[in-house]
Structure 1
Amino acid sequence: MTIFRTLILSLVLVFGGLAYAQGGGDPQIEAARSSGVIGERIDGYLGVVSSADADVTRKVQDINNRRRALYEKTASETGTTVQQVARIAGEKQLAQRVKAGEYYMDESGTWKQK
């Protein structure tokens, strides 16, 4: 299973550019992330932790749409499901992307601060 997970993650990174699908470098998204307005979910998508203005909410949705497109492409190329690819990417996001003080959603659906 570990080899399978590594293969899927590698394909996610190669075929879509996960940095692009993260909102890479958008100052408004980074500010919302560091202030606890948004956070990473275990299912591979961004989520709104507390109330966010319409612009941030729209950007989160745009990032999630890009991530989903990347996950769909990877799933079709690996013969897996979008949910499997998204979950693996989500686990990697939580392990590598979430910094101290930022929020993430755990297995139970509860927002926690790292």
Structure 2
Amino acid sequence: MKKFLLTVSALLVSLSSWALELDSAKQMGLVGEQSNGYLGLVATGNNDAAALVVDINQQRKQKYQDIAAKQNTGLANIEKIAGEKLTQKAAASGEYYQDASGNWAR
């Protein structure tokens, strides 16, 4: 379990490779973290933000699949853990996240 949590933590750190663009989009309220471990579009109508969401989610899914394979667990388990950590982080920093009812909160 400890190895599993370390791996997920490493994943979250590696997500910072998109930091500048992603941070800007989060600060502007264009995107937010969803409980499923993926980024969501908060504000519709911004093509750059929509493209960022698609790009990051593709990369996240690949990383989640890699971790799931290494840990011999289901993809849904990794997505759930990542989603919990990412939404907690977003909530703590005042960024948008999707609450349990599926609404965007800050």
The TM-score, its normalising length taken from structure 2, stands at 0.83
Residue 26 (str. 1) matches residue 13 (str. 2)? no
Structure 1 residues 50, 23: CA separation in 2 closer, same or farther (over 3 Å shift)? farther
Structure 2: state its 5+ residue gaps: none
Post-superposition Cα deviations, 1:28-76, rounded to whole Å, max 9, x if no partner, equal: x322211211100111110001114212211111111111011001111
Name the CA distance, whole Å, in 1 between partners of 2:45 and 2:3. Answer: 35
Name the CA distance, whole Å, in 2 between partners of 1:52 and 1:23. Answer: 25
Q: How far apart are residue 21 of structure 1 and its match?
A: 3.0
Structure 1: state its 5+ residue gaps: none
Aligned partner of 2:7: which letter? L
Q: Is the 8 A contact 1:39 1:103 kept in 2?
A: yes
Show structure 1 runs of 4+ deviating over 4 A.
Answer: none
Say which of 81, 87, 100 aligns to 1:88. Answer: 81
Name the CA distance, whole Å, in 2 between partners of 1:76 and 1:94. Answer: 24
Aligned partner of 1:64: which letter? N
